[in-house]
Chain A
Amino acid sequence: MSAETNMSDMIRVEGLGKRYGDPATGLTALTDIALNVRAGQFVTIVGPSGCGKSTLLQIIAGLVTSTSGEVQIDGRTIVGPSPDIIGVMFQDAWLLPWKTARENVEFPLALRKVPADQRKERAMKLLDLVGLTASADQYPDQLSGGMRQRVAIARSLIQKPKVLLMDEPFAALDEQTRTRMGNELLQIWQESGGTVLFVTHGLTEAIYLADIVYVMGARPGRIIDRIEVELPRPRSIDMIGSEYFGRLRNRIWHLIADPA
């Protein structure tokens, strides 16, 4: 990746706020959020539950409207779902139970009436990327939780998005599967050269995956710090035990526990 594309902001969020109810008595979910993610970066947002990090991600994805501020992705102001540049993943894969793994991966293209043979070819490539070639014709209830999330990763990549927005995608998985999925995600990210914004409440996960960690506080939801993770790539599990990792983890833990 050239230095020039590295310098440009792929995701830019400015002065973002979200209020529910009327201005005087309503609830402020998010206030004055600013963040930027450069092309090719892996950025995580970590915060306590109820801090509005999922809402923030959904606003960036164009699925929820903000009450103030602006989101720009690749120079385009986001006003609604933008599947051509944004891929989205949630904690649940939300696969359609009557479609096979491959058909689920194809579904976004089917919505746009892409010819069946092209769809199939793309889907098989992505299923190969996530290691599910053998399960292409299986139905979601025949797949494990980790496999379903792999299908969801393949599906979120099928429209070749510039940005992948992930809302606690591995939170429902057991710890071993979560760690393995994190490593696989990093591999896919490095191969595809995309930009990832990843929301989690797990501190270890947030540090392990990221170039930059945004730390959020609650009531109202706001960003309280931005931390650069200076660990080499590719990451390995051993780094989690290092002194540097421990200090970073402690620092974020204190930020969340008693925000200034």
Chain B
Amino acid sequence: MNRWLRRLLITAVVVAIWEGVYRAGLLNPIIFSAPSLIAKAVREDGMTFLSAMRLTMVEIGLAVAIAWILGVAFGVVAGASKSLARVIAPVLSAMIAIPLVILYPLILAWLGLGPESKVVFGVLSGIFPIALNTLIGVRHLDPGYTRMAQAMGANRFQVLFLVLAPLALPAIVAGLRLGTALIIIAIVLSEMLSSTDGLGFWISYHRSLFNTGQVYLGILLAVLVAAISNILLSWIEKRFAPAKAA
């Protein structure tokens, strides 16, 4: 409790100093916001931002679910076969190197301004590092595990997902972290580029009107979304980490 109290106190002091500097007329309100302006934004547009945040989180959640499942499944299958891995790994590397934002206009044209285009763009942005990390993780496992599992009677699916995938978990989780960060960036960015709702859209909208309070509020909420996803990831990492010696 003591630790949280100290953190709260430090935050309060920083906010007070920030507000003081603003009141003293030392900050240009078009560039820098102030705590009171953010509070005003909450009063004026709080509900709009809250529903925008919910939409953004749903988009991120969908994109993450699709990219994780498809990316890991694809990576495990490709990584378990030497010949398949040799063909697919360079393709995945190349896909990661391409700035996928160049595809966004096409996705927009196909799927429109709504959430669908954001989810698809998010999936595309995250799936390749997830698949590549999984592939490499599985590729590096000793073939002895596969041989043993086959000798015990494991079928192909069981070898892949009950033996190889859990063994490759450290590499897979590293891929999930990277992929999830890229998905969050992609979805907020795509909302900013062209959309009708979502945190990115409202940040962009208020920026063009010089409502810095609203812009800062949007940024704070976007940081919050990233923090929530990070907490979930850490939990998953702990939950599924191989049991270690006490």
A residues sitting closer than 8 Å to B (CB atoms) are: 58, 61, 63, 81, 83-84, 86, 88, 90, 92, 94, 96-98, 100, 107-108, 111-112, 139, 141-142, 155, 159
Contact = CB atoms under 8 A, between A and B. Distances in A.
B144 A83 contact: no
A63 B151 contact: yes
Interface of B: 142, 144-145, 147-148, 150-155, 158, 162-163, 166-167, 242-246
B148 A83 contact: no
B243 A88 contact: no
Q: Which of B148, B150, B155 has the most CB of A within 10 A?
A: B148
A245 B74 CA distance: 56
B167 to A, nearest CB: 7
B152 A83 contact: yes
B152 A108 contact: yes
B242 A98 contact: yes
A83 B147 CA distance: 12
Contacts of A108: 152-153
Contacts of A96: 163, 166-167
What secondary structure prevails in chain A residues at the interface with B?
loop
A37 to B, nearest CB: 18
A86 B151 CA distance: 8
Contacts of B167: 96-97
Contact of A94 (B144, B155, B244, B245): B144
A94 B141 CA distance: 11
Contacts of A90: 144, 147-148
A66 B144 CA distance: 19
Given A92-B144, A139-B245, A81 B151 contact: yes
A61 B152 contact: no
B151 A83 contact: yes
B153 A94 contact: no
Contact of A111 (B142, B158, B243, B245): B158
Contact of A141 (B148, B153, B154, B245): B245
Given A108-B152, A111-B154, A94 B145 contact: yes
A142 B152 contact: no
Contact of B166 (A63, A94, A98, A142): A98
10 contacts: A81-B150, A81-B151, A83-B151, A88-B148, A96-B167, A98-B243, A108-B152, A139-B245, A141-B245, A142-B246
Q: Which of A58, A107, A142 has the most CB of B within 10 A?
A: A107
A111 B152 contact: yes
* Interchain residue pairs A-B with the least CB separation, the first 5: A83-B153, A88-B151, A94-B148, A98-B242, A108-B152
Nearest to B150: A81
